[in-house]
Every structure is written in C-alpha cells, then in structure tokens.
C-alpha cells in the first residue's frame, strides 16, 4: 500500500491550544513485535475515518526512531513524531519519540521525561490515564504485541470513563505478554486480530454514543423507553439489581454496550438481551464499573496511614480484633492498600500479630506502590507481583450486596470509595445509615473524592473534608436503620409500600437483636454440605480455618489449621452417621506461640434440598500451656 511521505516534526505546524476533543482518539500500545501489528492495523484502516491515532511503542532511548518512515507507506494519513504542545487532529498518526513519556491535555500532546528507572517504564499506562481524562467516551485503547504488562492499568481508566478497549488476539501477537495481561485483568471489550480492529473501530465511532457529548445530552428516547425493561431483565436473570443506581449513569453505560454491538434502537437491544445470556453478563459487568488501583488518591491514603490508622491501632485493646470492611473492593487493590497501612503501623507499634490470602497483579503496579512496599509486601514474578502470604492472610474476600445483604458490625474502619456516586440519593442514605450502625463509636468512614456523608452529617464528623474521611459520632435511633431483607424483590417493594416498610422496620429490630446476640455469644461457625464445602461462615472462623495457596477451594478440611483436621473429620463423620449433634474435644492448634485446646461441634441441619452441617469451634477455657504475658497477646486483624 502506498501513501504520503512521512512528515518530520519540524514540518508539522504547531497549532493553538484547543479546549475539547469532538472526535475519537485511538491509542495503540506495543513493544516487541509491535511494528508488524501496526502495519496490519493501518493496512486495513479505511481512509478518512475521522479519528486520530497515537502510537506508544517501547523504543530504545539511545537511538533515533525510524517508525515514522516505516509506517508512512501503510496509511494515507500524515505520520508525525510527536513534539511538545503539538495539536491532535483528525486523520493524523502521532508517534511517541524515544526516551519520553507522552500525555494529552486540552487537545494537545505533552512530552515529559520518565521518572522511573529504565526497566520499569510504563509509557502506555501513562498516556492512557491522560487520554481517559481528556476524551472520556471517545477514548479508545488498542493493546498489541509486546512483552510485559504495560497498558493493563491504564486501560482501567479508559473503561471507567466509558471508552473502548480492544486487545490483539494473543494467538496472533508475536509476543503475547501485553495482550494476555490485559485479557486476564478482565478489561478487554473486544479481542481481535490486528486486521479486524479497524472495522470494529469504524462501526463504534459511527454510533450516537460516541458522536454526541452524553454528559450534556439526554440519552436517546429508545434507550429511555427500554431502560425499565433492561433493568428488570438484569434483576431477573443475573445476580444484580440496579434499580437504585443513578439512571443517567446506567443509561450511558447501556448506550456504550449498544454502540459496541452496533445497535441504535433500545427495543432491539432489549430483545438481544432476552436471547443472549452472554450479552446480559457483559452488560451487568459494565454497569458495575470494576475499576480500582493501589493507593488511589495518594494524599488521602497518606493521611489515613499517618494519622487515622495509628490512632485506631494505639487505642485497640489486645483482646479485641481490628475489624475493617471494604465493600465494593473490585479486584482487591484498595483492600490490600489499607491492610498494608495497618501492618506497617502494627509493626511500628511492635504488636505481635499473625495473619492469611492470594493476589497476583501486573508489574505496572510499580506506578502506584512505592519501592519499600513492593519489597515488603510483594514477591516479584515474571512480569507480575504476588502479594506476600502475611498480607494475603489478613484478608477475607466474599461476594456481598450492600443493598441486599446484612451488614457487618463492630467495625473500626469502613472504606467505601467511588461506589455511592453510582447510586441514587435514597440508596446512599440507606447505606450511610448501615455504615453508622456497623461502626464502633469513633470508628472511621473513608469515602471517594467525589462523595460526602450528605444529610447524615449529625452521624459523622469530618476528620478531613478534603480527603472525605469521617468519624462516627452519636447513636443510631430506634427504627432509623433499614436492614436489607436479603432479596432483590423485597428491596424494590419496600421503596414504594409504606405498610411493608413499617413491617421491615419491625423486622429490623429483630435482625438487630439477633445479630447483636450472635456477635456477642455465638461461636465461630461454618455451614457445610456433604462434600465438606463451606457455604456460609459466621464469626472469626479464620482462627480455625485458613485460605490455602494456589487454586481456590471451599473444602473446610483442606482449610483447617494444623491440629484440627483429624478431629473435625471425625466429628463430621459421626454426625453424618448418627444424624445427631456431636462434640469432640482434645483438638490443639498453635496460636501466638502457645498451644490452644479447641472443641468442635457438628450439628446436622435440614436444608431445602440437601443435608447440611453446622461446624462450630470453641476455645477451651484453660490453655494447654502457661499463658504468655499480656503484652504478647494476639491481635486478630483478619478483617
């Protein structure tokens, strides 16, 4: 394919700064094998697409780049090496120069020098974050051949702002590291060979979702007409009820999925959802917006680590566990970030603590985690980092709906960041009320940078308004906490039925009493089936069970801590045979460098369609060896 002669930077006209981008900007990222992928892409791209293209290629900083000349023959568009303050224009291709970072702001390209050492540079992540902020729904990310994980973090920013993420099929890529990392992270909207990407881009760019500014324009009538049907269908056919989410946000996300499917009519898309379970799951995933990274909003986390967490640790008595709840934690980066801060402070306070869990992240987290924490809390793998065992053991991850499931209680800290902004005001009020119930007096609430406690300011006082950190004050008044009923249907009826709402409040008193009694007196327990799979747990079961490394398992015998497995197996077998409650004693485990006796009780429970067993653990009142001094007592930070 022939094209125009390559244009050198000196020939490019420097244009005045612009204030908005009214066309899509496509960022293509690659390292090893990238040139071949770029050629395939541009050979298949039709002329006059109306889009701009920015290529972020890993280049040797000590040599001049030949990419401009090498690509000029594969596209009729002007191919330019980017310079500082160069304006981005439709139907142009811009190439990152060697040894530089590139960003986009107010329609112009900005060059800067990398701060990281050579081996840790992530220029594609750097550019994608600025592209997401600049272009929103018109930001498009394409990850092509390359080693490493560059792009895996930046694509999350594109997704969060409603943009499109396309990944080259790893089977075609000369080097599959970058494509596979993006796919494994769950961020890919489309996985295509390079020659098929332009067709998908052109179809996407033609959709109303991309052509208009959805922040200032009402969604199309067809989307609004189908909206209620789509939300009802998702509630009926998936585990997710979005009825209390902000309609504007949901409608923009629905429009995004319609654009990807090439559908303009809402009724037609609703029919597709009825027929295609895969599209229903993809839409639900899009509506949940699972975007996060380590130490998001660093200044807020600095305040948390320097002031808030030290106070929580210092005032904690050694006989009570520190309990932290991180609802809506997505892939876990926020939960791990907070746990690092706690472990650092506990170590500084010389508390004796033993903690257990599993997490692998791309090497691009180096941009978010300082080297001292990378060294202490992670082990380096090939293009990845794995959380160390001490940090994994401090966390328990579980699926929970804030709007449908009962809250935790007696908590020291709740971190719920960038979740409330997607919910309507009534849902926000209910959740903040639950948070107030769940926290200890003087407990801490940590919200996102765009969130506040709203009209419940008499229940939370600001520690830092700037960073959205609040302290629990006052007491919950009788009847003001509406506890979730556990079903999506009940939650939706309550919002419109005063009689059932009053009934719910009466039931709320009962649930409140039951939870208080269970928290205070019930032993740590786990409900299992005949396959020994844990179905539900209550209390501090992590004292007796642990999350094993490697592939996930729910088998409680595999999770039993050393010294308990044989006694637990015997008790379960006897309860199965006798169909009666069985208690065995004499089990022993090591805790805080002393031997602890444990009694295990197994109670048969009649399930709806299967036989279940409730397994409970109780420490013997007298330790098997002499007690250690109070200063050596264990601090349980499993939450």
Interatomic CA distance for residues 12 and 77, integer angstroms: 13
Angstrom distance (rounded) from CA 587 to CA 565: 9
Long-range contact pairs involving 386-389 (C-beta distance under 8 Å, separation at least 24): 386/359, 386/360, 386/361, 387/336, 387/357, 387/358, 387/359, 387/360, 387/361, 389/356, 389/549
Question: Does the active-site annotation cover 31?
Answer: yes
What is the token pair recorded at 285?
């995933």
- Residue 555, strand partner residues: 533
DSSP 631: G
The sign one gets for the Cα dihedral 50, 132, 103, 16 is positive
CB atoms within 10 A of CB 309: 24
Which entry of 49, 58, 286, 368 is annotated as an active-site residue? 58
Q: What b/e sequence results for 3-18 when a residue is b if at least 16 CB atoms lie within 10 Å of its CB, and e otherwise?
A: beebbeeeebeeeeee
CA atoms within 13 A on the CB side of 591: 22
Which of 92, 145, 150, 412 is labelled catalytic?
Answer: 150
Q: How far is CA 297 from CA 114, 170, 378, 450, in A?
A: 21, 33, 21, 11
Number of H helices, E strands in the chain: 21, 23
Instruction: Calculate the alpha carbon distances from 385 to 147, 364, 373, 382 in Å.
Output: 15, 9, 12, 8
Q: Which two tokens stand for residue 77?
A: 């568009």
3 state DSSP class of 440: strand
List, as own/partner pairs, every contact residues 274-282 make where C-beta atoms lie below 8 angstroms and the sequence separation is at least 24, other chains included: 274/233, 277/237, 280/233, 280/234, 280/237, 280/238, 281/238, 282/257
Closest by CA to 244, choosing from 234, 257, 258, is 234
Non-local CB neighbours of 247 within 8 Å, separated by 6+ positions: 227, 424
3-state secondary structure of 406: coil
Active site residue 58: yes
C-alpha 469: how far from chain center: 20
DSSP string, 223-264: HHHHHHHHHHHHHHHSS---TTB-HHHHHHHHHHHHHHHT--
The residue written with tokens 């903690």 in the block is 355
Active site residue 442: no
Q: Write out the catalytic residue numbers.
A: 31, 58, 150
């Amino acid at each position: 394919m022939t094209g125009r002669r390559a244009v050198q930077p000196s020939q490019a006209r420097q244009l005045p700064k612009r204030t908005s981008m009214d066309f899509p900007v496509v960022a293509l990222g690659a390292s090893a094998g990238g040139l071949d992928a770029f050629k395939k892409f541009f050979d298949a791209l039709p002329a006059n697409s109306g889009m701009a293209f920015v290529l972020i290629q890993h280049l040797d900083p000590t040599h001049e780049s030949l990419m401009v000349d090498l690509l000029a023959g594969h596209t009729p568009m002007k191919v330019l090496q980017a310079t500082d303050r160069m304006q981005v224009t439709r139907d142009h291709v811009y190439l990152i120069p060697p040894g530089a970072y590139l960003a986009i702001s107010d329609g112009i390209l900005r060059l800067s020098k990398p701060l990281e050492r050579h081996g840790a540079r992530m220029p594609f992540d750097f550019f994608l974050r600025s592209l997401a902020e600049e272009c929103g729904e018109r930001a498009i990310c394409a990850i092509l051949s390359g080693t490493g994980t560059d792009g895996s973090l930046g694509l999350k920013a594109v997704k969060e702002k409603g943009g499109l993420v396309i990944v080259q099929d790893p089977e075609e890529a000369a080097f599959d590291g970058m494509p596979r990392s993006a796919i494994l992270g769950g961020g890919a909207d489309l996985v295509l060979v390079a020659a098929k990407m332009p067709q998908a881009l052109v179809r996407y760019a033609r959709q109303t979702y991309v052509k208009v500014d959805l922040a200032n324009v009402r969604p199309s009538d067809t989307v609004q007409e189908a909206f209620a049907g789509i939300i009802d269908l998702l509630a009926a056919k998936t585990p997710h009820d979005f009825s209390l989410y902000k309609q504007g946000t949901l409608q923009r996300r629905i429009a995004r999925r319609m654009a990807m499917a090439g559908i303009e009519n809402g009724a037609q898309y609703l029919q597709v959802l009825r027929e295609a379970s895969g599209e229903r799951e993809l839409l639900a995933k899009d509506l949940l917006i699972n975007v996060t990274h380590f130490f998001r909003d660093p200044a807020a986390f600095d305040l948390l680590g320097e002031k808030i967490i030290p106070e929580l640790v210092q005032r904690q008595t050694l006989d009570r566990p520190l309990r932290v709840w991180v609802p809506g934690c997505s892939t876990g980066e926020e939960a791990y970030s907070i746990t690092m801060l706690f472990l650092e402070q506990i170590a500084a306070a010389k508390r004796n603590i033993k903690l257990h869990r599993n997490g692998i992240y791309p090497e691009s987290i180096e941009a978010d985690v300082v080297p001292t924490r990378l060294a202490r809390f992670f082990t380096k793998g090939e293009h990845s980092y794995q959380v160390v065992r001490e940090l994994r053991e401090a966390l328990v991850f579980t699926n929970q709906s804030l709007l449908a499931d009962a809250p935790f209680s007696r908590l020291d800290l709740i971190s719920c960041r960038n979740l409330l902004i997607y919910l309507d005001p009534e849902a926000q009020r209910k959740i903040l009320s639950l948070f107030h119930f769940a926290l200890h007096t003087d407990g801490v609430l940590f919200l996102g940078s765009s969130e506040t406690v709203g009209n419940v300011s008499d229940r939370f006082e600001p520690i830092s308004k700037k960073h959205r950190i609040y302290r629990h004050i006052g007491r919950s008044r009788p009847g003001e906490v509406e506890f979730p009923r556990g079903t999506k249907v009940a939650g939706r009826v309550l919002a419109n039925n005063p009689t059932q709402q009053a009934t719910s409040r009466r039931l709320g008193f009962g649930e409140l009493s039951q939870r208080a009694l269970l928290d205070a007196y019930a032993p740590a327990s786990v409900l299992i089936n005949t396959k020994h799979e844990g179905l539900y747990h209550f209390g501090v079961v992590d004292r007796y069970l642990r999350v094993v490394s490697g592939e996930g398992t729910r088998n409680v015998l595999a999770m039993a801590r050393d010294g308990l497995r044989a006694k637990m197996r015997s008790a379960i077998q006897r309860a199965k045979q006798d169909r009666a409650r069985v208690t065995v004693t004499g089990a022993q485990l090591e805790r805080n460098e002393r031997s602890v006796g444990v009694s295990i009780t197994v109670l048969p429970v009649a399930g709806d369609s299967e036989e279940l067993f409730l397994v409970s653990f109780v420490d013997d009142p007298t330790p098997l060896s002499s007690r250690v001094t109070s200063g050596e007592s264990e601090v349980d930070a499993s939450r």
